[in-house]
Amino acid sequence: MFAEGYIGIAGIIGVGKSTLTMELAKALNFEPVLEEVGGNPYLEGFYGDMKQ
Sign for the CA dihedral angle at 13, 48, 35, 2 comes to negative
Q: Which residues of 18-48 are buried (b: 16+ CB within 10 A; e: fewer)?
A: eeebeeeeeeeeeeeeeeeeeeeeeeeeeee
Number of structural domains in the chain? 1
**In the prediction, which pLDDT does 1 show?**
57
Cβ proximity of 17 and 9 under 8 Å: yes
> Dmax over Cα atoms in the chain, in whole Å?
46
Range of the domain at 29: 1-52
pTM metric for this prediction: 0.65
Per residue in 15-27, pLDDT (tens digit) is 999 999 999 999 9
